[in-house]
Amino acid sequence: MIPYMASSFNNLGDFLPMSLTLEQVRRVAHLARIEISDVEARSTLGQLNEIFGLIEEMQAVDTQGIEPMAHAQDVAQRLRADVVSESDQLAQRAAFQAIAPETEAGLYLVPKVIE
């Protein structure tokens, strides 16, 4: 998973996005860790605004007292015992790391993060 920094969730701007700004598109792209050029950000802005135009229909609906729905059957999350369930773990690791871009001695390699 990409480690989002909690602080980066703040300061997207305070106004409701009937229309987004170019700066907001850049910030969201940064949060999503997707490199975006100025040209792409401009064309994306227009498309996102059209889509948000569609989404905004929701805001007119009074949903006071309505419970949000996440699963059709409203089932509770099942739990399991916190124990190792896989056998042959070294072979499993080798199989899963065989498709990684770069590994060494059972570890995934990434560019240096601490100087």
Partner 1 sequence: MIEHSLQAMAAALANKEISSVELTQLYLERIARHNSQLNAYITVDPARSLAQADAADARLARGEGGPLTGIPIAHKDIFCASGWLTTCGSKMLSNFVSPYDAAVIARFHAAGAVMLGKTNMDEFAMGSSNETSFYGPVHNPWDDSRVPGGSSGGSAASVAARLAPAATGTDTGGSIRQPAALCNLTGMKPTYGVISRYGMIAFASSLDQAGPLGRSAADCAILLNAMAGFDERDSTSLDRPAEDFSREINATSTAKPLAGLKIGLPEEFFAGGCSPEVMQLVEAAIGEYRQLGAETVSIRLPSMGLSVAAYYVIAPAEASSNLARFDGVRYGYRAPDYQDLNDMYCKSRAQGFGDEVKRRILIGTYVLSHGYYDAYYLQAQRIRRLIANDFASAFQKCDVIIGPTSPSTAFQLGEKAADPVQMYLSDIYTIAVNLAGLPGISIPCGFAGGLPAGLQLIGDYFTEARLLNIAHRYQQANAWHLQRPGGFD
Q: How far is the CB of 97 from partner 1 (least distance, A)?
A: 8
Q: Where do the H-state alpha helices sit in 15-103?
A: 22-31, 38-55, 89-97
Quick one: 58 or 105, whose CB is closer to partner 1? 58
Query: Among residues 38, 39, 69, 90, which is the contact residue for partner 1, using CB under 8 A?
Result: 69
Structure tokens at 38: 């100025």
Q: What are phi and psi of 33, to 5 degrees?
A: 55, 55
Nearest approach, Cβ of 40 to partner 1 (angstroms)? Answer: 8
Chosen residue from 38, 39, 73, 84 binding partner 1 by CB under 8 A = 73
Residue 56 one-letter amino acid: E
